[in-house]
Structure 1
Amino acid sequence: MTAILITGGARGIGRATAILAGARGWSVAINYVGNEAAAQETLEAVRAAGGQALALRGDVSVELDVLALFDAVQAAFGGLDGVVVNAGIVAPSMPLAEMELDRLRRMFEVNVLGAYLCARQAARVLSRDRGGRGGSIVLVSSAAARLGSPFEFVDYAGSKAALDTLAIGLSKELAGGGVRVNAVRPGLIETELHASGGEPRRAQRLGAGTPMRRPGRPEEVAEAIVWLLSEAASYTTGAILDVAGGR
């Protein structure tokens, strides 16, 4: 049975991925930082879909939390086969000139440092060179990384661009250890993330202007993530896959 960890797995794309993995019979651990009720609801949904489920609280930008998270998942599942580095934040829309230092610091602490800490620990745990059993790491980037998100959140866009680079470099470092590393770049997806940016209906408003004339659903991104986790993508590494409706 495949055992995976999804950071930020209580809501949105993380939740959809957890449920889809559960439907495959996988053991799924989700990480969350504050919304315990949402985490418990996701656990129930994963179990109902057919998988084992575990929820663990922790801040991915805190090294000790990340180390404890990976230790707990391995102890519970007897090992680990895949990691989805999904946890991330966004902040209210504004041009860079108006952003305060605290906002910028927190954005990069969670979205960049947190992602790198999780990817580093995944590399340590999964690589056959270090005693792991190989596997797959999927980084959840964003189409914002190539669009820039001007006048909205160029800080978020920049933080996601760092994950694209991480996917390319880390895939080369870990290929010899039996670990594939890829990134998925979602576009305008109907999740609660847009409410964090101050516009809950942003995906619907802008999605109408995409070539497919609609926003995407979390489940559509989850399909790409689970494919990259699975053996169906056994010769795919260092790839950056857009799931953005042609945007």
Structure 2
Amino acid sequence: MAKSVVVTGASRGIGAATALLAARRGFEVCVNYNSHAEEAEAIVARISAEDGRAIAVQADAGREDELVAMFARCDRELAPLGGLVNNAGFLGGESDIEDFDAGAMRRLWDVNVVAYFVCAREAVRRMSTRRGGSGGAIVNVSSMSADNGGIGPRVHYATTNGARRTFTFGLAKQSGPKGIRVNGVMPGVIDTHFNDGFDNEGRNARLGAQIPIGRVGTGQDVAETIVWLLSDEAAFVSGAVIPVNGAFF
């Protein structure tokens, strides 16, 4: 029986790599995006070219109504839901605590944390064996900043990743009896568009030399772990948050 997976923030980076790999592993894929429509459609085209099934759905992670509408569209156009990858988020810039802006922080938490709860709610309602679903898996993407607090000017972003990590542990306990496994990944230094506004190339060169494996990570590195966690090969893995960091802490 075919199953679908919703991947939020899937137009670029880790999300795009995950969407492509999930399709290759047999999932029908909802490629969620907010503002990068062309890139999202390109991912759908690549999946279609490989005989997969995917749709691109615009939804702002900070808008509950748009997220709910996204899941409703997936109900209409894709196979029954079997997985969710909570990946969408944003950095929220860099700032010192003396310049803290409460309004900006609320937007950051809406996108990086509240949206994870909303998407998980919608996914559990569909996948729960107690509601007639066939079970499934959720993977929450966090960051190693959840453990180390990140660099100083990004402590606001790091706190959202700490919340994502905690959410993974708690949701795994709550959802296991409903036939749903919940896990997370904590990427380290990954070469994506996430740091385009902060000298991404210089950052990669500077930090890559400090990583024991000898390089920065790629979206594909993270996607391989995510899609494994979605698969039946990880059938007894739940409540785990796996570092994908090349042993760089």
Query: TM-score if structure 2 supplies the norm length?
Result: 0.94
Could you tell me how far apart the structure 2 residues matched to 1:14 and 1:41 are? 13
1:99 deviates by 3.2
1:168 matches 2:169: yes
Instruction: Give secondary structure in 1 for the equivalent of 2:189.
Output: coil
Instruction: Give secondary structure in 2 for the equivalent of 1:152.
Output: helix
1:30 matches 2:39: no
Aligned to 2:220: 219
1:186 deviates by 0.5
1:115 matches 2:106: no
Q: Deviations over 1:41-87 (max 9, x none)?
A: 11112223332110101112211111111111121113100000000
Q: Check the 8 A contact 1:190/1:204 in 2, yes or no.
A: no
1:129 deviates by 0.9
Aligned to 1:232: 233
1:246 maps to amino acid: A
Could you tell me how far apart the structure 2 residues matched to 1:109 and 1:142 are? 17
Q: Deviations over 1:88-119 (max 9, x none)?
A: 00133333332323321221110011111111
1:209 matches 2:210: yes
Question: Which region of structure 1 is more displaced relative to structure 2, 147-156 or 175-184?
Answer: 147-156
Q: Check the 8 A contact 2:3/2:79 in 1, yes or no.
A: no
Could you tell me how far apart the structure 1 residues matched to 2:208 and 2:160 are? 22
Question: Which region of structure 1 is more displaced relative to structure 2, 174-183 or 88-97?
Answer: 88-97
Question: Which region of structure 1 is more displaced relative to structure 2, 130-139 or 40-49?
Answer: 40-49
Q: 1:114 to 1:46 in 2, by over 3 A?
A: same
Could you tell me how far apart the structure 1 residues matched to 2:209 and 2:241 are? 24
Aligned to 1:65: 66
Aligned to 2:200: 200
1:65 maps to amino acid: E
For structure 1, the 5+ residue unaligned runs are none
Could you tell me how far apart the structure 1 residues matched to 2:225 and 2:192 are? 17
2:116 maps to amino acid: A
Could you tell me how far apart the structure 1 residues matched to 2:28 and 2:129 are? 20
What do you get for the CA RMSD once the two structures are aligned? 1.3
1:169 deviates by 0.5
Question: Which region of structure 1 is more displaced relative to structure 2, 62-71 or 227-236?
Answer: 62-71
Q: Post-superposition, which runs of at least 4 consecutive aligned residues in structure 1 deviate over 3 A?
A: none
1:213 deviates by 2.4
2:23 maps to amino acid: G
Could you tell me how far apart the structure 1 residues matched to 2:43 and 2:213 are? 29
Instruction: Give secondary structure in 2 for the equivalent of 1:132.
Output: coil
1:152 matches 2:170: no
Aligned to 1:179: 180
Q: Check the 8 A contact 1:61/1:117 in 2, yes or no.
A: no
1:126 deviates by 1.1
Question: Which region of structure 1 is more displaced relative to structure 2, 164-173 or 202-211?
Answer: 202-211
Pairing 1:64-83 to 2, within 5 Å after superposition: 64-83=65-84
Q: Deviations over 1:174-208 (max 9, x none)?
A: 11111000001011000000114x23222342222
Q: Check the 8 A contact 1:185/1:242 in 2, yes or no.
A: yes
Could you tell me how far apart the structure 1 residues matched to 2:115 and 2:108 are? 10
Could you tell me how far apart the structure 2 residues matched to 1:91 and 1:214 are? 26
Q: 1:204 to 1:218 in 2, by over 3 A?
A: farther
Q: 1:102 to 1:2 in 2, by over 3 A?
A: same
Q: 1:99 to 1:199 in 2, by over 3 A?
A: farther
Query: TM-score if structure 1 supplies the norm length?
Result: 0.95
- Aligned-pair identity in percent equals 38
Instruction: Give secondary structure in 1 for the equivalent of 2:207.
Output: helix
Could you tell me how far apart the structure 1 residues matched to 2:205 and 2:46 are? 26
Q: 1:213 to 1:94 in 2, by over 3 A?
A: farther
